[in-house]
Amino acid sequence: MNLKKLSLLIFLLLVADQALKIWVKTHMHLDESITVFPDWFFLRFIENNGAAFGMHISTPGGFDWGKLLLGLFRLGMTGVVGWLIYRLGRRPETPKGVLVGLALIFAGALGNILDSAFYGLIFSESTPYTVAHFGGHYAGLMMGKVVDMFYFPLFQWNSVPRFLRFLVDSNNYFFGAIFNLADAYISVAVIYLLLFQFKYLNK
């Protein structure tokens, strides 16, 4: 697979991710839910501050240095993945699966970076009572929130062992995490690369 095809794939993945996020952001109020398939698949709009483990390193003026540092770290890691795609894409022996997997990771990481970098500059703030619109300004550069919407509450699990609590939400629904298309790209790619391309990557 040549670099032009990979670039087109990354572009299409980014367009799909951003189109869905922008539609959700401009058509749903915060925490609104739309049923796709009853009882197990919903579009539920939440926003993620994007700081790992809730990390906040704030000055008295309220600037979140933790979020900025995380954003810069993500940019650096995305650059590394982009460099790998370029380098491996020039080698004829590189499996197509490796390149597609890295393209998914690159598109997913960049998709979430775009949210936190620019959404605060171009949208008004979403609330439980109002839908956001273009032309607002609710945060500065790199201070925006990431849009999440996929919710698959598969079943309730009331007796959850402590070490598995991360797999359920506050209502004890198994797989209660809410995520976006970019997150799905990264998760699918990482699992695929570890299961099917580990020997090549280990070289």
Does the pLDDT of residue 171 top 80, yes or no?
no
Does the pLDDT of residue 35 top 90, yes or no?
yes
Does the pLDDT of residue 165 top 80, yes or no?
no
Query: 17, 64, 115, 148: which is the annotated catalytic residue?
Result: 148
Higher pLDDT, 51 or 124: 124
E-strand stretches of the chain: 33-37, 41-48, 146-151, 178-179
The average confidence (pLDDT) of the chain is 87
Specify whether the CB–CB gap between 180 and 21 falls below 8 A: yes
Higher pLDDT, 142 or 107: 107
Query: Which range is least confidently modeled, 54-58, 86-90, 139-143?
Result: 54-58
Query: Which range is least confidently modeled, 16-25, 70-79, 134-143, 161-170?
Result: 161-170
Q: What percent of the chain has pLDDT over 90?
A: 62
Q: How confident is the model at residue 65 (pLDDT cuts 50, 70, 90)?
A: confident
C-beta atoms surrounding 137 within 10 Å? 11
Query: Which range is least confidently modeled, 6-15, 30-39, 130-139, 162-171?
Result: 162-171
Q: How confident is the model at residue 86 (pLDDT cuts 50, 70, 90)?
A: very high
Query: 17, 64, 115, 183: which is the annotated catalytic residue?
Result: 183
| Residue 183 annotated as catalytic | yes
Tell me which H or E stretch contains 192. helix 181-196
Question: pTM higher than 0.75, yes or no?
Answer: yes
Rg for the chain (alpha carbons), in Å?
A: 19
Calpha distance 157→168 (Å, rounded): 8
Calpha distance 151→184 (Å, rounded): 12
Q: How confident is the model at residue 62 (pLDDT cuts 50, 70, 90)?
A: low
| Residue 64 annotated as catalytic | no
Tell me which H or E stretch contains 16. helix 3-27
Calpha distance 178→47 (Å, rounded): 10
